[in-house]
Amino acid sequence: MSRPITLFTGQWADLPIEKICRKAKSFGYNGLELCTWGDHLEIDKADQAYCDERRALLKKYGLNLHAISAHLVGQCVCDAIIDERHKAILPDYIWGDGSPEGVRQRAAEEIIKTGKVAKMLGIDTVVGFTGSPIWHMFYPFPPIPAGTIKKGYEEFARRWTPILDEFQKLGVKFALEVHPTEIAFDIHTAHLALKALDNHPSFGFNYNPANLGYQHVDYVRFIYEFPDRIFHVHMKDVYWSDTPSEAGIYGGHAEYDDYRRYWHFRSLGRGKINFENIIRALNNIGYKGPLSVEWEDNNMNRAAGAIESYRYIKKMDFKQSDVPLIHRRRISQCKK
| Contact (Cβ atoms closer than 8 angstroms) between residue 25 and residue 61 | yes
Rounded to whole angstroms, what are the CA distances from 249 to 34, 213, 253, 254? 29, 10, 11, 11
Task: Give the CATH number of the domain where residue 229 resides.
Answer: 3.20.20.150
Kindly state the percentage of the chain with pLDDT values over 90. Answer: 89
Which domain covers residue 263, as residue numbers? 5-335
226-236 pLDDT, tens digit per residue, is: 999 999 999 99
The number of distinct structural domains making up the chain is 1
296-336 pLDDT, tens digit per residue, is: 999 999 999 999 999 999 999 987 777 765 554 554 454 44
84-113 pLDDT, tens digit per residue, is: 999 999 999 999 999 999 999 999 999 999
* Spatial distance between the Cα atoms of 214 and 237, rounded to a whole number of angstroms: 10
* Spatial distance between the Cα atoms of 189 and 137, rounded to a whole number of angstroms: 13
Residue 2 has pLDDT above 80, yes or no: no
140-188 pLDDT, tens digit per residue, is: 999 999 999 999 999 999 999 999 999 999 999 999 999 999 999 999 9
Q: Please state the separation of Cα 222 from the chain's center in Å.
A: 14
Residue 128 has pLDDT above 90, yes or no: yes
Q: What DSSP state is assigned to residue 294? A: -
Mean pLDDT over the full length of the chain: 94
pTM comes to: 0.94
Q: What pLDDT is attached to residue 323?
A: 72
42-86 pLDDT, tens digit per residue, is: 999 999 999 999 999 999 999 999 999 999 999 999 999 999 999
Q: What pLDDT is attached to residue 114?
A: 98
